[in-house]
Structure 1
Amino acid sequence: MKNLLFSVFLLSLLFFFCAHVSDATVPCSTVDMKAASCVTFATGKDAKPSAACCSGLQQLAQSVKSVDDKKAICRCLKAGVKNFAGVQDKLLSQIPSACKIKVGFPISISINCETIH
């Protein structure tokens, strides 16, 4: 469960990358599922994000339809990361470049999800 919650945090960061127009909101269960494999990297147990981590985050980013989706994913990830001991902010910030995902804002545990555009 903790791995899923951390994954949610990572996925919400990916949703910030893409801005689309729609009124759909991504459920936390989807975010959890897509980001779960990123936990081992974010806690320092793996030297790099796994292919499954990057693939899940790419899929999540592609599913963003609106700013509300990005904010919802961010909130899911922030809630999830609180349940994982050892998550390192410096490792979270490395995931977008390691997975070759472009981000227009800093990836951080302390991000304010409501300021996402």
Structure 2
Amino acid sequence: MKSIFFSMVLVLSLLYCFAHLSNAAIPCGTVDMKAAACISFATGKDAKPSAACCSGLQQLAQTVKSVDDKKAICRCLKAGVKNFAGVQEKFLTQIPNACKIKVGFPVSMNTNCET
């Protein structure tokens, strides 16, 4: 359950760059599965994101086909952040660079999904 919530947080960061989109097509369950492997890094338990973490996030980014998809993922992640204690912003912000994923904005748990 905690992995699902972290997954949402991580994907939120990735999707913010796509935040100018509206109706969602990607379910939260998919978002959770793709980002679940990142929780150990985002909570400070691992020194770097795992290969599974980076691979899942890259796969998730490739599934985004519309603005609605991006907003949906962002909302899933943001909802998860509210329910998951332990994710540290200082680690979360490092994931895009560590995984070589370009998001084009500062990663934050306070990202506005609707802009």
Same fold (TM > 0.5): yes
Aligned to 2:105: 105
Aligned to 1:44: 44
Contact 1:71 1:114 in 2 (8 A): yes
Structure 2 unpaired stretches of 5+ = none
1:14-93 → structure 2 map (5 Å cutoff): 14-17=14-17, 25-93=25-93
Q: How far apart are 1:24 and its partner, in Å?
A: 5.9
SS of alignment partner, residue 26 of structure 2 = coil
Q: How far apart are 1:12 and its partner, in Å?
A: 3.1
Contact 1:12 1:76 in 2 (8 A): yes
Query: In angstroms, what is the RMSD of aligned CA positions?
Result: 2.0
Aligned residues: 114
Q: How far apart are 1:17 and its partner, in Å?
A: 4.4
d(CA) in 2 for partners of 1:18, 1:12: 10
SS of alignment partner, residue 49 of structure 2 = coil
Q: Percent identity of the aligned residues? A: 74
TM-score by length of 2: 0.89
Q: Deviations over 1:45-101 (max 9, x none)?
A: 111000000000000000001111111101101111222222111111100000000
